[in-house]
Amino acid sequence: MKLSGAAGVNAVNTPGCLIDCPAMQSDSLNTLTALSTGAIAVMAFAQVLILLYQWKVMSGQLSEMKATSEQTKQAADAAKKSADALINSERAWVMVNAELVIPDRAGATQGNTITDTIKLFCTNAGRTPAWLTAKIGRLKVVDSLEALPEIPDFTHLSPEEIIYEGSEPLGVGETKPPVVRSLCWRASENAVF
C-alpha cells in the first residue's frame, strides 16, 4: 500500500517505521540501536558500581554486627556473673569448724587403731536460713597436707563416718551446738603424734 507524504514523496507504510524515507530509515535505525546499546551498557556499568558500593556497605554492616554481637555476648556474660554474685550473696553459707579433742595418746591407742574425738560447729554466715541434712566427717592421716585432695571425697562412707543424719534448720547467724563424735582410724608406720 502506498501513501502520499507531505512533500509528495511516496513512502512504504511498514509497521514500526518512524521515518518516511526508506534510505534514512536504515541509518536512523542503526543510530537508534547504537544509542540504545550504549545506554544499556552505561546502565549496566552503573548497576555494577551500585552493586559494588552496596557490597562494601553490607560488608561494613556485617563487621559492625559481628563486633556488636561480641559486645552483646560480653555484656550478657557480665550480667550473668553479676546475677550469680547476687544469688551467692543472698544464699545461706554454712561454715563448719571442726575441733579435734586430742586425748592422751597412750590411752587412746589400741594396737594400730586410734580413736579421736572431734567437735563440729555449724554456723550460717549467709543471709538466708539453711537446712542441714547431714554432717559427715572423715578422719584421714597423711604424711603432708599436699597429700590431701583438693575436694574431699565423701563417696562410699562407712556408718562410723556419718556424724549426724536428719534435717534441722540453721537460722541466719546461728551456730548449732557442737556435735561430738569419736572417729577411729588406723595409724600408719609414719604417723606422727
Q: Model pTM?
A: 0.45
**Residue 30's pLDDT is what?**
86
134 and 186 Cβ atoms separated by less than 8 Å: no
Return the DSSP state at 175: B
Separation between Cα atoms, residue 180 and residue 101, nearest integer Å: 9
Task: Please say whether the dihedral angle defined by the alpha carbons of residues 125, 126, 129 and 132, taken in this order, is positive or negative.
Answer: negative
- CA dihedral sign, ordered 170, 175, 177, 181: positive
Per-residue confidence (pLDDT) for residue 54, from 0 to 100: 92
pLDDT tens digits for range 102-128: 665 544 555 556 667 778 888 998 888
* Rg (alpha carbons) of the chain, rounded to whole number: 47
Q: Distance between CA 105 and CA 88 in Å, rounded?
A: 43
- Looking at residue 51, what is its pLDDT? 94
The whole-number pLDDT of residue 53 equals: 93
- The pLDDT of residue 158 is 75
Q: What is the residue whose three cell numbers read 551467692?
A: 88
Q: How many CB atoms lie within 10 A of CB 122?
A: 20
Whose cell is 535505525? That residue is 29
| Predicted local distance difference test score (pLDDT) of residue 127 | 87
pLDDT in tens, the chain (193 residues): 444 444 444 445 555 555 555 555 677 888 889 899 999 999 999 999 999 999 998 888 888 888 888 888 999 999 999 888 888 788 888 888 878 776 655 445 555 566 677 788 889 988 889 988 887 777 666 778 888 888 877 777 777 677 777 788 889 889 888 777 666 665 555 554 4
- Residue 4: the pLDDT is 47
Do 13 and 3 meet the contact criterion of CB atoms below 8 Å apart? yes
